Structure 1
Amino acid sequence: MPDSEYVEVETADGRVRGRWRSGRDERMPRSAAFLGIPFAEPPVGALRFQAPMPVRPWHGVRDALEFGATAQRGDQGETLIPEPSVEGESTLTVNVFTPDPADAGLPVLVWIHGGGFTSGSPASPWYDGRNFNRDGVVTVSISYRLGFDGFGSIEGAPSNRGVRDWLLALQWVQHNIAAFGGDPGRVTIAGQSAGGGAVLTLLGMPKAQHLFHGVYAISSALTDVAASRAEALGRVLAAKAGVEPTVDGWATVDEKRMLALQKAAIRVTPRTMATLVDDGLSLGPVVDGELIERPTRESLRAGVGADKPLVLGATDDEFTMVFGGRVAKVLRWVPRSVMLDRLGLDRSLRAGYLAANADVVRRRTARLAGRVLTDRMFRAGVLRVAADRGDAPTWVYRFSWPSGRFGFAEHCLDVPFFFDCLDGPGIEALAGPNPPQELADEVHAGAVSFVSSGDPGWPEHEGDAGIVRVYDVPTHDVADAYAAVRVLV
């Protein structure tokens, strides 16, 4: 153990004090955590709807011992991933976990949290980098503005403020990570759900290419909001708030009122489900023609990011849980054709899709509804993005191990396996008792291998029926393991 509980690092903006942490057992080495380091000034007052302003340098030593404030506010109730809210104004921060700041040249993983671009927090205990540190990887989690503050269309304000937060955080990594033992030339960006969509968005952005060197996209909710759609939502919300859709108008609407308006405007109902599946999330990265020049898949097809290795995949039943409990009982009485209409499954594709998913069809309407929603929102996108990449180095996986609680591989289930934190809080509620550590060893080892070498350890995905790593017990590699969803692509 070090002589002191604390450890200090000199960043480009000033000196920070972190804390050494001992391993959870004798076999696990120490690591150091630096929490809540600001990369930008607090986005409040005149800066609320502006591009992030780089943090002003400070004198003396700044404590980095507690998580910074989060853009997520209030008690979120029971969520799949424990992501606490932290009150405060300085929400644009990074958390750095390192084996030892005295090291040099270590690979770097930068994590962007999910939450539909309206919630989520980098302060989750699952995102602690200690287990990546154990395996020689410096880990960074970042915070960014959410919801309308981060992504809403406002006259007189720059677009994509949340995306600009990602970019400034990644610039901070480039300028500072060597002081924590990391190599700025070996940065992998990773995220899950909206965070997975975020890293794919960055992969397709020409202006972001110099900031990272590999991408690991988990259950990606890729969202390319059309500028016209964003502008329309901005006008609707402004009208409901009783203000002009301008910076000056929105400046009179406090955070609590904004969140209430936002929640009401984007609420998903059975009648709007098909619209969500077809058009994606209402708030998220906007194709503004400036920062995001065109839809991400168009950029990937044009070769943007083709020099960067990519791993992507999804769980088998991301959103099947939506149709559990009382909803499942109601669905027993809903004709299959009506359910498929509500989920927007084209009638010309139904016969082929149902034949390819005969095993799910036999499990009643709720399971079929969950698989359709999962395939349309997540799994079809895996195949599309892999195809868009052409010959660029791309690896595909499926996470198929069925949760001991839900009986299928639901949304977020793969995250604690990726971080190798099956002993963390809230795991049993998601995975059930005694989830398989051997599977966590395999998922995590693949991630470490990819971050370290650019290769996760199984064959690249080539052609329409490429090899897919299927994470289950046992894990195995299968050609065309997404065959059941191919009819949708």
Structure 2
Amino acid sequence: MTTPNSLDTAADSTEPVVRLGAGAVRGRLEDGLAVFRGIPFAEPPVGEDRFQAPRPVRGWEGVRDAFEFGPPPPQESGIQGRTGVLEGPTGDDWLTVNVWTPEPGSAARRPVMVYIYGGAYKLGHSGSPGYDAQHIARDGDLVVVTLNYRVGIEGFARIEGAPANRGLLDQVAALEWVRDNITAFGGDPEQVTVFGESAGAGSVAALLVMPSAAGLFRRAIAQSVPGTFFSDELAADMAAAMAAEAGLRPTATDLATVDPRELPALGEALAPKMTQHEDRWGSVVHTLTPFSPVVDGEVLPTTPWQGLAAGAARDVELIVGHNRDEYRLFVVLAGRLGQLGEEDAATALRRFGPGPDAEQAYRAAFPDASAGELYERVQTDWLFNMPSLHLAEAQLAGGGRAHVYELTWPAPGLGGVLGACHGLDIPLLFGTFTADLGNLLFAEVEPSPEALALSSRFRASWTAFARTGDPGWPAYDTEHRPVQVLDAEPVVTAYPEEASRRLWEGYTFPALPLAP
């Protein structure tokens, strides 16, 4: 662990100091906000603690400078415009939080928003420039927390001698830190909203039904929820294949012999070979990742859809939504836009569609769609859109309330070919148009007044929800199906993807099984 600085009486007196349970931290004033970076919420998960549940951080003497983001957790190389090689501090203090607050120490008790990054459960770092939360905190006059959690093998591989879903347990530990410490930053621990995108949204969905997370947040926002949750058997089989890449057993003891920074290479080595296991692992071999939350029966007792329908989070207010053209990003990154033929469409429809007659049903529902459009449509539906919609419907079935949105405004980068693709909501929400994924989605294009207005609307809706539970549009119901469409001219209308909704009506998103 990094040794904190001792009390420096010569330090700038304008630098805010906050006293926490573990010790004092010193942040910086930046454009009207106090910002604290790299505060540890748990002990470094290395040595005897490697592959174990996070342990509370030990205290420190004096005042610890909280000026820099903590080191990224070990992870694979790039995807979605991000990179696994991240600039920043090195070391083992992966489990840190960052706080943006208008007024630390205030008695105002502002609402708190806690962000969980995406990255296919194998990438991500809260210090990435795209997650700079200053605009959310400033525009919403609230406290924003971002956090690191273990990804890849360290966080999600199902291995012997270790609890499942260590990455999710890290998130719970960070939320416990928020509960215990956020008052010192002027936040209200009774008004916590957790929000995340892609794998971060899948994490939010999991947290909604995890017993250990109960009571740690009042509201939740899930942006583009992936439908891939693994059964215990599937996850264990995939972990065994990864360990075998290094001639190891899938145990904490064996894997601990590999340096944490070298371990992600096992996942990378397996990725191009995943399709060889399709007969056992199913459609997930055609995704970008061998990692997902594991329905192990203990840490995660059920899938989010099953748990919400049973009322696990009926008292948690929820926003859930997706982007219209989610899968377009992956088609473009693969260089296949305009290159997809009828055979590609037929294979995708049979592989990802709901039920044995999915190909015929999709072709009948979208008679004018090209082969490329069908290929994208079914994968958008299977991977993100229908899991997101069904999460809202499960929440209603369990006696709760949900607000649903769809982003339809197209990304301007690359000549506008990306549409309203996966990840577009991140730069719009954070206002980070030239960082990380924003570099691609807004490539060589200055944000237009239209983009800036939509970005402002995103933040206004999300922060209003964090403050009041009302994002500014009606709650979803299964009769009228009101949905906020986010575009240049936002409107509330009946769910726009009705053809897809009907195709997937009655489908359940089970924990993906291991085939015999």
2:136/2:430 contact within 8 Å kept? yes
462-471 vs 125-134, greater mean Cα deviation: 125-134
* TM superposition shift of 1:380: 0.9
* TM superposition shift of 1:346: 4.2
* TM superposition shift of 1:344: 4.7
Query: Does the C-alpha gap of structure 1 residues 277 and 402 become closer, same or farther in structure 2, counting only changes over 3 Å?
Result: farther
Partner of 2:5: none
Gaps of 5+ in 1: 23-29
* TM superposition shift of 1:427: 2.9
1:444 maps to 2:459: yes
User: Which of the numbers 94, 97, 113 marks the counterpart of 1:94?
Assistant: 97
* TM superposition shift of 1:343: 4.2
User: Which of the numbers 25, 46, 49 marks the counterpart of 1:16?
Assistant: 25
1:197/1:221 contact within 8 Å kept? yes
* TM superposition shift of 1:119: 0.4
User: Which of the numbers 236, 249, 255 marks the counterpart of 1:250?
Assistant: 255
2:484/2:490 contact within 8 Å kept? yes
> Which amino acid letter does the alignment assign opposite residue 385 of structure 1?
L
* TM superposition shift of 1:488: 2.0
231-240 vs 138-147, greater mean Cα deviation: 231-240
> Which amino acid letter does the alignment assign opposite residue 21 of structure 2?
A
1:118 maps to 2:122: yes
Partner of 2:303: 295
* TM superposition shift of 1:332: 3.6
1:413/1:431 contact within 8 Å kept? no
Pairing of 1:192-231 with structure 2 (within 5 A) = 192-231=197-236
Identity of aligned residues (%): 37
Partner of 1:316: 324
Q: Secondary structure at the match of 1:156?
A: coil
Q: Secondary structure at the match of 1:291?
A: coil
* TM superposition shift of 1:101: 0.1
Query: Does the C-alpha gap of structure 1 residues 150 and 180 become closer, same or farther in structure 2, counting only changes over 3 Å?
Result: same
* TM superposition shift of 1:296: 1.8
* TM superposition shift of 1:72: 4.0
* TM superposition shift of 1:232: 1.4
Cα deviation digits, residues 136-161 of structure 1 (max 9, x gap): 11000010111111111222222221
* TM superposition shift of 1:342: 4.7
* TM superposition shift of 1:234: 2.5
1:200/1:222 contact within 8 Å kept? no
Q: Secondary structure at the match of 2:111?
A: strand
Partner of 2:6: none
Query: Does the C-alpha gap of structure 1 residues 98 and 385 become closer, same or farther in structure 2, counting only changes over 3 Å?
Result: same
* TM superposition shift of 1:368: 2.6
* TM superposition shift of 1:168: 0.6
Query: Does the C-alpha gap of structure 1 residues 128 and 321 become closer, same or farther in structure 2, counting only changes over 3 Å?
Result: closer
* TM superposition shift of 1:269: 6.9
Cα deviation digits, residues 424-460 of structure 1 (max 9, x gap): 5763521352342111121111101101111111000
Query: Does the C-alpha gap of structure 1 residues 377 and 460 become closer, same or farther in structure 2, counting only changes over 3 Å?
Result: same
Query: Does the C-alpha gap of structure 1 residues 264 and 344 become closer, same or farther in structure 2, counting only changes over 3 Å?
Result: farther
Query: Does the C-alpha gap of structure 1 residues 464 and 281 become closer, same or farther in structure 2, counting only changes over 3 Å?
Result: farther
1:366 maps to 2:369: no
2:26/2:67 contact within 8 Å kept? yes
1:488 maps to 2:504: yes
Query: 2-side partners of 1:219 and 1:161: how far apart?
Result: 22
Query: 1-side partners of 2:247 and 2:270: how far apart?
Result: 15
> Which amino acid letter does the alignment assign opposite residue 312 of structure 1?
V
- Compare relative contact order (CA 8 Å, sep 6+) and give the higher one, 1 or 2: 2
1:71/1:121 contact within 8 Å kept? yes
> Which amino acid letter does the alignment assign opposite residue 150 of structure 2?
R
Query: 1-side partners of 2:249 and 2:110: how far apart?
Result: 50
Q: Secondary structure at the match of 2:221?
A: strand
* TM superposition shift of 1:192: 0.2
Query: 1-side partners of 2:275 and 2:350: how far apart?
Result: 11
Query: 2-side partners of 1:229 and 1:367: how far apart?
Result: 31
User: Which of the numbers 409, 412, 425 marks the counterpart of 1:414?
Assistant: 425
Structure 2 length normalisation: TM-score? Answer: 0.86
Pairing of 1:421-460 with structure 2 (within 5 A) = 421-422=432-433, 427-432=438-443, 433=445, 434-435=447-448, 436-460=451-475
Partner of 1:350: 359
2:35/2:101 contact within 8 Å kept? yes
Query: Does the C-alpha gap of structure 1 residues 465 and 476 become closer, same or farther in structure 2, counting only changes over 3 Å?
Result: same
Pairing of 1:473-484 with structure 2 (within 5 A) = 473-484=488-499
Gaps of 5+ in 2: 1-11, 506-516
* TM superposition shift of 1:481: 1.9
* TM superposition shift of 1:369: 1.3
1:62 maps to 2:77: no
Query: 1-side partners of 2:480 and 2:158: how far apart?
Result: 40
Pairing of 1:155-166 with structure 2 (within 5 A) = 155-166=160-171
2:105/2:183 contact within 8 Å kept? no
Query: 1-side partners of 2:148 and 2:269: how far apart?
Result: 24
Query: Does the C-alpha gap of structure 1 residues 348 and 223 become closer, same or farther in structure 2, counting only changes over 3 Å?
Result: closer
Query: Does the C-alpha gap of structure 1 residues 488 and 278 become closer, same or farther in structure 2, counting only changes over 3 Å?
Result: farther
Q: Secondary structure at the match of 1:382?
A: helix
Query: 1-side partners of 2:240 and 2:142: how far apart?
Result: 45
* TM superposition shift of 1:323: 2.3
* TM superposition shift of 1:347: 5.0
User: Which of the numbers 165, 173, 189 marks the counterpart of 1:168?
Assistant: 173
2:485/2:493 contact within 8 Å kept? yes
